[in-house]
Every structure is written in structure tokens, then in C-alpha cells.
Amino acid sequence: MESSSEEEIFGQKKSEGEDDRELLQEKLSVIFQYSTDAHLLFDESGILDCNQAAVKMLACKDKIELLSLHPATFSPEFQPDGKRSAEKALEMDRLAYETGYTRFEWIHRKITGEEFPVEVTLSPVPINNKKVLLVVWHDISDRKRAEEAIRRSEAMLSESQQLTHSGSWEADLITGQNYWSAEAFRIFGLEPDSAGPNTDVFSKMIHPDDLHLYKTHIWEAINKMSPASFDLRIVLPDGQIKFIHAIGKPFCDATGKVVKLYGAIMDIDNQKKTEKELIHAKEMAEMAAIAKSQFLSTMSHEIRTPMNAVIGFTHLLLQQDPRPEQMEYLNILKFSAENLLVLINDILDFSKIEAGKIEFEEVDFNVLSLLENIRSGILQKANEKGIMLKLKVSNDVNVTVVGDPVRLGQILTNLVSNAVKFTETGKVTISSEVTSRRGNVITLDFKVQDTGIGIPPGKIDNIFDSFTQATSDTTRKYGGSGLGLTITKRLLELQHSKIFVESEPGKGSVFYFSLTFRISEKHFTEKINGSPTNKFSLEGMRLLIVEDNAINVLLMRNFMKQWNVQYDVAENGLVALEKVQTTDYDLVLMDLQMPEMDGYEATLRIRQLPDEKYTKLPIIALTASAMMDIKDIAFTVGMNDYISKPFTPAELYSKIASYRKDKPL
């Protein structure tokens, strides 16, 4: 009975083992048939079996077609003789048989010729007491594409960081470890490593003066959860100091706690050096501009002061009833001096425009009166040449506007003087008309037309260039600085206008432009820049002339004697301050540049005297400087008015007369 029981038991066990094997085979069959990976059985003769996934992967029509092909068919190195030529494949097969298992990546080829990457697993398995090779191919095309995309992105990031001199970083606040990109290491002068220096080491690489700035931004990023962006200096291993720009952002864990900081750094050392050079260049340019302005102020004073004597004494001599031949010489002297003054003024005006020192006044003036005075001032030159100088305007041009009559007069005088200069026969016409009038704003067109030599078509654009005239012989024949039209163009541009020209050689030219003004509430007609008549007698006035130039003092003495004006002379501001306290003067003519005490300080000191009369005492600045800021300073220190040297007797008379207290004769 005992023996029988053992047989039953063993028999039962044997039956259970067979069932397990059958179940295992069934499971393997299911895996073999339905796996998404290609499964194939190889032996020495070729492919014994395969699953449907293999048929699909290798683009075969069916299983029969696949089994009929030699395994080497699917190798990129397949040769027509039907044998495997891929040494690596043979080596892998050998290793699989010997070791029992191997895995590697390979390139296979579909029967269509398309190549694709696979992960190959080789496992020797016994089937029917025969050792065969189970080959599993896993298509890794998607993985390879993803890996290539990652590799390309990393390469592009690395290249872009090198090109832009920027590096990325990450700081782990828990471990204190930093992770840097290769370019971040290079920016800090270090060899690239897998990780960056820890926070303590990194802090020592920051310039001591910028460490507080760095810590402040890091604190705000961690505690205020705000991005950081700032410049700081770092100290390289060789001691060199470099500027970098750092940007950072906090990263929080699931609890909302900041556990990391990440961001980028940029090498801005060259940019900072360029900025420093630009700042230095700007400072040098500003210093040069100041030096230029001071030079112009000094030169204008030095040049215009003797010009004042030349023009002034010429006027005095002309009033002395000279002999006919002397009259001719004096008129030539007067003409030459005035021409020289025009040239000096052109150069100074051009320099002021270049230095941005031009300012425009806002005063009331009558447009028609201005045009009439310009014609009157140039009429003598036109008569000498035997040409007509016409003024052609409509009635509505007789309007009072608010603007700068001096600059408008300068523009028109330049154009009319040029027209007369370059016209030998015929006429020059000055015309103006109102083109628009809306509310209290008016726009006028101005035109100067001549019948002169004209301008060649190819030279029209050049005539507005500095120191340039139409042709090379123009300067020799007609003279001039070549700055008149340049100044005219710049003055109009500063008033948001443009000048236009039409010309034909031998037939003449026409220059025209438009300007917009605000209409004045006043209604009057007055002569601008004309020679005022002596409506007021200066007899009985007492003046103090503060002037250190002996020639100018002599000139002023002669004027005062002619006009029956009592006067005293002070050679500097210090003497003037003493004299105004001992004598009651009706007016003070104050030169600006003098030794001991200049006109500015003297005026300030006079205005500070305790008696109220010193605050009301008219003080007129005598300035040979053409710089507008000189005149601005004169008004700032308390001067009432100014007159620029050189001046004509009529200009000086008119200026003094305007401050006479009593009534005209």
C-alpha cells in the first residue's frame, strides 16, 4: 500500500509538471505572437519562426515572405551572396551562444531599404532538445529622435551661450551646491566641471564692494519670491575684475518653500568698458563744447571790441564834414568794416548753431515794417549796381505777430543780400503773403526772387553746405564766407521750417519758405533795425560809463559830447560801485569783462545796496560777446538791457533815450 501511494503521488506530480510546462509554453506563445517587439528564432540555417510584430517591423507582406529571407537581408551591410558581412553581428551571435545573453543597439533595414535603429536582445533557448537563438528587436526610433533632439538642444544652448557670453546656473539651497553650465565656468575663468562651487566659495569670488548688493538680491528672491536682475563685479582667479549681469528666479517645492534658485549670468565686461569710454568721451565732448563756447565768447569780445572802435569813429568822422575825397575814403572804410562785421557774425552764428546755443526771442513785431526795413537797408547796394529792389506784399501782411524779428531779419537779409550780390542786371523782388490764418495763428510765405547768374542744377543741393558756394570762381568774384545759406537753412530748421530753391543758370533764382507765428494782441507798426531819429533829447542826462578799453572810452566820450550828456568814467566794476554811491546817475553803461571786478559782480553789488534807488537804477550791459548765454547771465544778475558791440551811434542813442525819465521835446 505504501509503495502504491508513492506511485500515485509521483504520478500526480508528473502530471502537474506537464501542465506547468504547457502553461508556460502557452504564455510564451502569447508573448511571442502578440508582443509589440519583433521576436524571431534563429539557427544555423536561418529564421525558424517570427511573430507578427516582426513582419510589420520589417515591412514584409506576410510571415511566409519573412521566413524565406536570410537574416543578413535586414542588415545595412548585406551582400548579394546572401551571407552576413557584419562582423559585429556575428560577434554578438557568438557571445550570445557562449554567455547565454547579450544586448546591444543596432541598425536594421526593412525590405523597402529604409533603415531604423533597434535594441537587440539575444538569448539562447532550447527547443526540442536543440539550442536556438531567440532574437528580440525593440524599435528605438522614437527614443533616438528624442535623444537627438536633446543632444541638438544641448549643443545649441552651449553654442548660443558661448556666442552670447552667457551661462546658466542652478543653486540648491538645501545642499548649498551650485550647478553651472560650461560657459558659466569660462566666464569665471574656471575649467568646466560637473558642478559649480558651493555658495560659500562662490561668495568669495564676488567683489567685496558688491557682496552686499548680491546678498540683498538673493534675500529678496528667497523671501519675497521675486526675480532678481542686477550687475555686479567678480574677481577672477588671476585677480582680474570683470562685470557680469546676473538674473535669477526662485523655485519652490510642493509646500511652497523656496528650495532652489536658477537663472543665468552674462559677461558684460566689454559693454561696461564701452559705456565707460562713452561716458568719458561724452565728458570730453562737453568739456570741449564748454572750451569752444568760452573761446567763441573771448574771440567775439576781442574781435568785436576793436570793430566797435572802427565803426564808431568812422561814424564820428563822417559827421565832421570831411572833404569830398575824405568822404569817399571814409565810406569805403565804413563799407569794409560792416562787411567784416557780417563775416564775423556769420562765423559766430554758425558756431552758436553748431554748439546748440541759438535761442529765439518771443517779442511783438510788425511783418510789413520788418520787410520795409530790410529793403531800405539793402537798397543802397542795389542802387549802386543799377538793379531794382522791389517789395511785393498784400495788405494782410501788415500784421503784428509774436516771434523773433532779429532771426527772421537775418534770414531775409541773407537771401536778399545774396540776390543783390549775384544779380548784375534786372531786379530783385521780396514778396510775402498770408497762406493760412486760423484763430490767433498765422502762416506766411516769404520769397526772394532775382534775375541773377543762377545756380547749375548739380550744385543746388551743395549751396547749403558749410563754407560752400556754387562754383569755384564764385568766391573769387563775389567773396563771402559761404555760411549765409547754411545759417539760413539751420535757423529755419530750428523753427520747424524748410527753405526751397528753384534756379536756372543765366536766368535767376528764387528762394522761398514758410513760417507760422502767433498773432499779437498789440497793433502797431514800427521800424525794425532802422536808424531811429532823435525823438528824445539826451541833454541833461547823467551817465556812468564803466569801460576798461581806452579806445572805447574815447569813442563814448565823443558820442556824449555830441548829445550834450554829462558823464563819468569808471575803469572797472569796483570803481563803478564807489561812484554810484556818491553820484545820482540816470543810467549806467556797464562793460562785462573788466579787471578787478567784472560787470556781473558790480551789478550784483549795486543791486544789493540798501537804498531803493539802486534797485531801480537802469544798467545796460555793453557786451562784445555774441553768445546768447552771456546776455542771459546779464539779465540774471539784474541788468535791465544790453547793447552788442559794435554798435552804431543811432543804436546807442536809441537805447539810452528809451530810459530817459522826462518827456520828449
Domain range annotation of the chain: 19-139, 153-267, 358-519, 542-657
Q: Tell which residue, 312, 277, 357, has the closest CA to residue 560.
A: 312
Q: Which CATH number fits domain 542-657: 3.40.50.10680, 3.30.70.260, 3.90.1150.10, 3.40.50.2300?
A: 3.40.50.2300
Question: Percent of the chain at pLDDT above 70?
Answer: 80
Work out the average pLDDT over 242-263: 89
Q: How far apart are CA 574 and CA 602, in angstroms?
A: 7
Q: How far apart are CA 41 and CA 312, in angstroms?
A: 123
Q: What would the grid cell of residue 334 be?
A: 565804413
Q: How far apart are CA 69 and CA 67, in angstroms?
A: 5
The C-alpha angle 29, 35, 37, rounded to 5 degrees, equals: 125
Q: What would the grid cell of residue 478 be?
A: 563775389
Sign of the C-alpha dihedral computed for residues 411, 413, 419 and 421 taken in this order: negative
Q: pLDDT tens digit string along 316-366?
A: 888 788 888 788 778 777 767 776 776 677 666 666 676 666 778 888 889
> What pTM was estimated for this model as a whole?
0.43
Name the CATH topology of 358-519.
Answer: Heat Shock Protein 90 (3.30.565)
Q: Please, is 70 exposed, middle or buried when counting C-beta atoms within 10 Å of its C-beta (0-12, 13-18, 19+)? A: middle
- pLDDT of 664: 47
Sequence-distant (6+) residues with CB within 8 A of 9 are: none
Sequence-distant (6+) residues with CB within 8 A of 533 are: none
- pLDDT of 45: 79
Q: pLDDT tens digit string along 638-664?
A: 898 888 777 778 888 888 988 887 644
Q: Is 50 in contact with 41 (CB distance < 8 Å)?
A: yes
| 255, containing H or E segment | none
- pLDDT of 445: 95
Q: Could you tell me which residues are beta bridge partners of residue 545?
A: 569, 589
Sequence-distant (6+) residues with CB within 8 A of 249 are: 221, 227, 228, 261, 262, 263
What number of other Cβ atoms are within 10 A of residue 299's Cβ?
17
Q: Is 416 in contact with 378 (CB distance < 8 Å)?
A: yes
Q: What would the grid cell of residue 270 be?
A: 566689454
- pLDDT of 662: 61
Helix, coil or strand: residue 564: coil
Answer yes or no: is pLDDT of 16 > 70: no
Q: How far apart are CA 134 and CA 53, in angstroms?
A: 14
Confirm whether 19-139 and 153-267 share one CATH topology. yes
Q: How far apart are CA 239 and CA 73, in angstroms?
A: 65
Q: pLDDT tens digit string along 87-135?
A: 555 555 555 555 555 788 888 888 888 999 999 888 888 877 788 888 8
Q: What is the 3-state secondary structure (H, E, C) of 195-244?
A: CECCHHHHHHCECHHHHHHHHHHHHHHHHCCCCEEEEEEEECCCCCEEEE
Q: What is the 3-state secondary structure (H, E, C) of 119-175?
A: EEEEEEEEECCEEEEEEEEEECHHHHHHHHHHHHHHHHHHHHHHHHCEEEEEEECCC
Q: What would the grid cell of residue 93 be?
A: 551571435
Answer yes or no: is pLDDT of 467 > 70: no
Please give the CATH architecture assigned to the domain spanning 19-139.
2-Layer Sandwich (3.30)
Q: How far apart are CA 306 and CA 550, in angstroms?
A: 11
Over the Cα atoms of the chain, what is R_g? 50
Q: Please, is 461 exposed, middle or buried when counting C-beta atoms within 10 Å of its C-beta (0-12, 13-18, 19+)? A: exposed
CA-to-CA separations, 571 to 545, 557, 577, 602, 605, in angstroms, rounded: 8, 14, 11, 12, 16
- pLDDT of 138: 92
* Amino acid at site 171: A
Work out the average pLDDT over 34-54: 87
Please give the CATH architecture assigned to the domain spanning 153-267.
2-Layer Sandwich (3.30)
Q: How far apart are CA 344 and CA 330, in angstroms?
A: 21
State residue 542 phi and psi, 5-degree precision.
Answer: -120, 120
Answer yes or no: is pLDDT of 24 > 60: no
Q: Is 639 in contact with 620 (CB distance < 8 Å)?
A: yes
- pLDDT of 224: 85
* Amino acid at site 139: D
Q: What would the grid cell of residue 60 be?
A: 514584409
Helix, coil or strand: residue 59: coil
Q: pLDDT category, 21, cuts 50, 70, 90?
A: low
Q: Tell which residue, 358, 511, 542, 380, has the closest CA to residue 445.
A: 511
| Mean pLDDT for all residues in the chain | 80
CA-to-CA separations, 461 to 350, 453, 477, 497, in angstroms, rounded: 19, 17, 21, 17
- pLDDT of 94: 59
| 389, containing H or E segment | strand 388-393
Sign of the C-alpha dihedral computed for residues 571, 572, 578 and 582 taken in this order: positive
Q: pLDDT tens digit string along 441-455?
A: 999 999 999 999 888
- pLDDT of 627: 57
Residue where the block lists cell 565810406: 331
**C-alpha torsion 549→551→556→557, nearest 10:** 110
Answer yes or no: is pLDDT of 67 > 70: yes
Q: pLDDT category, 194, cuts 50, 70, 90?
A: low
CA-to-CA separations, 484 to 75, 111, 348, 376, 500, in angstroms, rounded: 89, 88, 12, 20, 15
Answer yes or no: is pLDDT of 565 > 70: yes
Per-residue buried b or exposed e for 16-45, using 16+ beta carbons within 10 Å of the residue's own CB: eeeeeeeeeeeeeeeebeeeebbbbbbeee
Q: Is 337 in contact with 314 (CB distance < 8 Å)?
A: yes
Q: Could you tell me which residues are beta bridge partners of residue 167?
A: 265
Higher pLDDT, 337 or 5: 337
Per-residue buried b or exposed e for 81-110, using 16+ beta carbons within 10 Å of the residue's own CB: eeebebeebeebbeebeeeeebeeebebbe
- pLDDT of 655: 86
Q: Tell which residue, 208, 204, 248, 202, has the closest CA to residue 225.
A: 248
Q: How far apart are CA 506 and CA 503, in angstroms?
A: 9
Work out the average pLDDT over 257-271: 88
